[in-house]
Amino acid sequence: MMSEEDIIEYNKLTEKLELLKKQGIVFQVDVKKQGTPVDDRGPNDLTKRIEVLEFRNEKLHNYNQKLIEEVRSLRSKLYIKEK
């Protein structure tokens, strides 16, 4: 699970990456070294935007579920102590 600090750091890094892409700085990944294909889609490509938003949505959903479980756990502990 991602902690709150991890999410903040992730958002900062993605913002930096988006700014660099808007400035025209392109990162090329060496396929032979990393084994990852080069993503040559532009920043305005809708399928890429959808993929990014789906990824962020999934991560935030998982983080929200973790927080909900933590709140429920704390409430149940508090309820038990009050009895």
pTM of the entire predicted model: 0.45
d(CA 68, CA 23): 39
Per the CB < 8 A criterion, the answer to whether 65 and 1 are in contact is: no
Helices assigned H by DSSP within the chain: 4-22, 31-34, 46-82
In this prediction, residue 73 carries a pLDDT of 92
Grouping H, G, I as helix, E, B as strand and the rest as coil, residue 37 is coil
> Residues 12-65: pLDDT tens digits?
888 888 887 777 766 555 545 555 666 677 767 888 889 889 999 999 999 999
**Amino acid 24: pLDDT:** 73
CA distance 70 to 67: 5
Rounded to the nearest angstrom, the gap between the alpha carbon of residue 57 and the centroid of all alpha carbons in its chain is 8
